[in-house]
Amino acid sequence: MHRLIALCAALAAIGAGTAVALASHSSKTRLALPAARQTPLQVIAFTQARPTSAARGSLSAHLASLTAISPAWLSLGPDGAIAYRATDAFSRGLAARGAGLLPVLRDPEKRISTVLARASSRKRTASRLAVMLRGLGAQGIVLDLGHVPANVRSTLPISGAASQQANAGYDLRDLSRPATLVVRAWSPRPAAEGPRPIASLGWYKRTLRYTLAHAPRSRVIVALPTWGAVWSQSGVAQRTQSELFRLAQPAALQQARGARIEQGGQISWVESDRSLQLKLEVARAAGVAGVALWVRGGESAGVWREPLIEPTR
């Protein structure tokens, strides 16, 4: 876990749409992050702090497909303290059965700027994380800290980044040196923009192309949206694939950009088995380290049957 302490600077290295996974190379589990990709794609399952019964069923059934599970257990507290949500026995059970454990550290109160402002607080926070992760038996951590103001990021070197690039985000090559990037390859869209595909294939390819132009492919994990959304007059609500698949026409589920559904004056978009299959094929062709799935229950069984994820028998 000494590697985590040495990488305390990575606490500041979070760009828009990117999380960072840090993993120890000394792990005795089958977890291999962030080393170069093995033949199968590595698969990380992100979950809630306490997975729902539906999520538990999906994770248990497909444990053989998972490299690691990342439950949202940790959050940044005042003065760099780490708030720790009680871990669930289920996630610990998955880890005992062979899945790597990479808890997620979030910053819901946007405290990261204060923590990064002083070298002493950065070091103290990294040390606290190292102790906590040892206690959890984790192989690393996923830092999902959101936007960090440019004036705070400037306390760390961002090699070769123009000023406008530094203001917009981080130099991905610098960021990928100590960590593996977990890239959300979809665009969050305000309700005012109206119904849109969750992640059109064109957007996905452009995001991946940009990332790989600035970071080694062996340090890139691509997150796939295994869900859908419903647009109505009251706003946008997230829905599971299983909920929306029942409403979709068979032909819609074969579209490359996902399925568009109209019902009762509402318009929905959902990632279909076909659209996820195409994204997985693009990821494999690009030679990235792996993919991340958001497993919260209600995901299609089709994604787990995909040959690029299903373990070789």
CA pair distance 11, 245, nearest whole angstrom: 39
Q: Would 312 be classed as within a structural domain?
A: no
β-pairing verdict for 82-84 and 140-144: unpaired
Cis check for the bond before 149: say yes or no (omega within 30 of 0).
Answer: no
pLDDT at 96: 86
Query: Which residues does the chain have with pLDDT short of 50?
Result: 1-17, 24-39, 154-168
Q: Could you tell me the CATH number of the domain that includes residue 132? A: 3.20.20.80
Mind listing the pLDDT tens digit for each residue in 115-162? 877 888 888 888 888 888 888 888 888 888 766 666 655 433 333 334
Q: Which of 144, 154, 140, 152 is nearest to 183 (CA)?
A: 144
How many domains are contained in the chain?
1
Q: Is residue 250 a part of any domain in this protein?
A: no
In this prediction, residue 147 carries a pLDDT of 66
79: left (phi over 0), alpha (psi -120 to 50) or beta: left
246 belongs to a structural domain: no
Largest Cα–Cα separation, the chain: 58
CA distance 66 to 302: 15
Q: Is residue 232 part of a domain?
A: no
Looking at residue 277, what is its pLDDT?
93
Write out pLDDT tens, residues 258-293.
999 998 889 999 999 999 999 999 999 999 999 999
0.85 exceeded by pTM: no
User: Peptide bond before 190: cis, by omega within 30 degrees of 0?
Assistant: no
Confirm whether 140 is domain-assigned.
Answer: yes
Domain for residue 237, yes or no?
no
Q: How far is CA 177 from CA 70, 144, 211, 253, 268, in A?
A: 21, 17, 14, 39, 39
Check if the beta carbon of residue 31 is closer than 8 Å to that of residue 8: no
Task: Provide the residue range defining the domain that includes 66.
Answer: 2-225+273-305
Residue 160 lies in a domain: yes
What pLDDT was estimated at residue 25?
Answer: 33
| Inside any domain, residue 254 | no
